[in-house]
Amino acid sequence: MELKYIWIEDYKNLKKIGFNFNHNGKDEFEFKDGKLNIFNSNDIIPKGFFGDSILGVTGIVGKNGSGKTNLAEFINYNLAHVTNSSVSFFGENNIGIIILGKWIFIHKSITIENLQELKNQGYEENYYEKAPLDKGRGNLRFDSMEKNRYIYYNPSFDFRMINVRSNLSNISTSYLAFNDLYHNLKHYYGIDKKENKTDSLSAHYKNEKIRESNFIINYSDELKRLIGRIPTEMYLSIDNTENNQLLNFRYISEEELKNDPKKQIKYQNQRDLSDLENEIVSVDNIFPYKVSEPIITGYDIYEIPISYKKIQFKRLFFVQLFKILLFDNEFPNGEFRELECLV
């Protein structure tokens, strides 16, 4: 079902205003003086103009603060709130008229005087109190409404949140920046882990790079078609136990280890790898490269040679690689007690 029209009574700075949306039909709408009028649009877009997968595109233009994002919020709260078995409620003052396909969702406080005329043209009405379908479905099934899937993207970092979870994929910068921390098991976010806790911005940066890498690796043809080329170089980073809790080996009690020689070897290898990692990342290793001048910020500054960084990068890479391999493989006892055996 295509979104055709929205009229808003009073939502934030949007007051008594209507919006027509581009769709596959010819109808345009205007709610005025209690009547919902229908006009035939003269702006007919050729079939397939936006490609085979897009039926229509609507552009909303306005200066900062004019209400563009508020309109997007209103749409999300009143259309993306339905699953195949339930309805959720978000926000307030959702008073308005929404035309979706042949359905006219009308807030209970609004009277449309020419409703019979609309019915004669094939439209059906459905009244709501907080959000469409909350007071009854009529002939409309939940799953019919749920088939409309919504994606919300706002590239601005504006601290505004769309709280809808029911039928909305939210890929906006603000949403991801605050929620990426909880969308990856490797991040630290427990309230009892004051040390080694991943901050939201670091988690967002890492997850964003993972998404970009996934797109480049798995959708290179689409990427090349969209922008004409694909990246030829990638920046690599390595996690350690301070920013990836999955790299911490699980503590095993002596009782559990007592009668399991294989588990004893694996446990000892895990300890050896963790000791090697601590040795690599120890600040003592870079102390000779510390800048002697006092630093106003309170942080120490080090001038570390590129050659040294490459060596440590390689060592840390192998340590973490074998940590991962230890989940499913076995190695001889003592295999990882010296860095040289890894390189």
pTM: 0.69
The two most distant CA atoms of the chain are separated, in Å, by 85
Q: What mean pLDDT is predicted for residues 297-316? A: 86
pLDDT at 141 over 70: no
* Residues present in the chain in total: 343
Q: What is residue 294's predicted lDDT score, i.e. its pLDDT?
A: 61
CA angle 325, 264, 324 (to 5 degrees): 10
pLDDT at 107 over 90: yes
Q: What is residue 227's predicted lDDT score, i.e. its pLDDT?
A: 77
pLDDT at 95 over 90: yes
Share of the chain above pLDDT 70, in %: 89
Structure tokens at 150: 């919504």
pLDDT tens for each residue of 172-226: 888 888 888 888 878 877 655 555 577 888 888 888 888 888 888 888 888 878 7
Query: Among 236-240, 250-254, 338-342, where is mean pLDDT lowest?
Result: 338-342
Bridging pattern class, strands 3-11 and 14-20:
antiparallel
Q: What mean pLDDT is predicted for residues 279-299? A: 79
Give the CA count within 13 Å in the CB-facing half-sphere of 297: 3
Q: Give the chain's mean pLDDT.
A: 82
pLDDT at 281 over 70: yes
Q: What is residue 238's predicted lDDT score, i.e. its pLDDT?
A: 84
pLDDT grade, residue 15 (50/70/90)? very high
pLDDT at 140 over 80: no
Q: What is residue 215's predicted lDDT score, i.e. its pLDDT?
A: 84
pLDDT tens for each residue of 63-82: 988 999 899 889 888 888 87
